[in-house]
Structures are given as C-alpha cells and as structure tokens.
Amino acid sequence: MDLDLKDKIALVTGSSKGLGLASARALLDEGCRVTICARGEAALAEAAAALKAAAGPDGPGHVLAVSADLATAAGVETVLARTVETFGGLDILVNNIGLAKGAGIVDTTDAEWQAAFDQTLFPAVRASRLAVPLMRQRGGGSILMIASIWGRESGGRMTYNAVKAAEISLAKAMAQQLAKDNIRVNSIAPGSIRFPGGSWDRRVQEAPDEMAAFVRSELPFGRFGRPEEVGAVVAFLASARASWISGASVTVDGCQSRSLI
C-alpha cells in the first residue's frame, strides 16, 4: 500500500532509540523528511547516521537531528524552529517523550509527580500547540501520541498510568477541536516492547527466569513486541490512508491488554 507520504515533513520526539527511532525510520521509509531529537548528543548522532544510511542517497537531505531537552519550553521551541527552518513546515508530529518514576501513593514525592508530567505530558502539549498553526498553513496534518496500554487500564507504575492516560485524553480532546482544520489526532497504546537499551531488555538480562514467566503469563503470542511493529502503525495513522481515523486510541500490544475497548 502506498501511504502517499513522500516529502511530507515529520517530527518525532524522543527518537534516538526505541519506539521513536522506529517511528522515524518507518516515516523515512515512506519518503518523509524527518526531524529526530533527544537530549543525548552521542546517541542522537548515531541514530541520525543509521537513518541516513538506510535512506540511501536521499538520507542526508531527509534527516535532521536536533539535540534539545524537550522537558523545557525552550527545547520544544528549538526543535520546531529548526524543523521549519530546514524543511519549510510540518505535516506530522509524533509525541514520543515519556518518563515516570515513583512508587505508591504514600512514597511518591511531589517532585516525582511533577517530573512525570514535565517529562511526558507537557512536551506533548507544547509541541502540539506549536505544530497546529504550522499544520493549518499546510491545509491539515496528523498528530500522534505514543501512549501505552497502561494509559487505558490499570497496571504499571502509578505515575506512568497517570501521564499516559492524560495523553490519551489530550489526543481525544484535540481531535475534536482540530477536525475543522483537517488535523487528525490519535494515540497509540503499545504493550511491552523490547529493544536494546530499553527497560524490558534490561529486565530480561537482569532476571531472565522472571521475565520468561512474565512472557508466558502476560503475552499471548509468547514474545515481546518489536519497535518496528509500532512504527508501522505510526506511518499508517500519519497517512491519508487513515483519513477517517481521528480521536482513536489504537493498541499495538499482541492482545496483552484486557480492556474491551
């Protein structure tokens, strides 16, 4: 299926590894010009080099890497400004920043709660706020939130549940607001995805027997998900082939979640 994404301009936040990098690669494979961004310069440079190599002759002109801290308003503004300066606009925004620490309600501090929202929800709010006028100028666009199945049902860390649920709710509200501008907004809810350097990969290495039991009991297909399986859904939802999908929360979890919706 031709997704008709050639020369569309995309920004993927938190994209030096994992789901963000896989999303950027999927969009690049479809012909997009893609901005990737992260705080760590070394990992970002490595990701950019890999994407450019995969894109072949078009790679150098189709990939922009910007090092910035998207937990700050200035960082978000820098990435959006560099994208427009380099590529001339914005058609697709993939909000992929996510971090949440803490434990139970008694033991989680105000600082940990604030960090969870600063590192996850506010980057999505700020990037979306700046993206909307740019997309209006181009006649429409697509905004995606990389949320989690733990934003749709209970499970996982409490702070993570809260911020991912907030992203899903934000996406629905934005979808209703922005339909008149031909801007579609959706969230994607991955399950347990394993990739090098990710939390599930670390847990498998630290406690292989425990993780093997987890896979048997919680993952019906008998394996973890792969980043590219999320990236493929990102590319589809960003494309005109998904023109009548907006305000949806799409699970990509191999039937791990228990929710009926």
Active site residue ranges: 160
The residue type found at 252 is V
Instruction: List, as one string, the DSSP characters of 182-243.
Output: TEEEEEEEE--B--TTSHHHHHHHH-HHHHHHHHHHH-TTSS-B-HHHHHHHHHHHHSGGGT
Closest CA to 143 of 152, 130, 158, 160: 130
Cβ–Cβ < 8 Å for 199, 191: no
Instruction: List, as one string, the DSSP characters of 106-119.
Output: TT--HHHHHHHIII
Strand order of the sheet with strand 183-190? 63-67, 33-38, 9-12, 92-95, 141-146, 183-190, 249-252
Angle at 183 between CA 161 and CA 116, to 5 degrees: 20
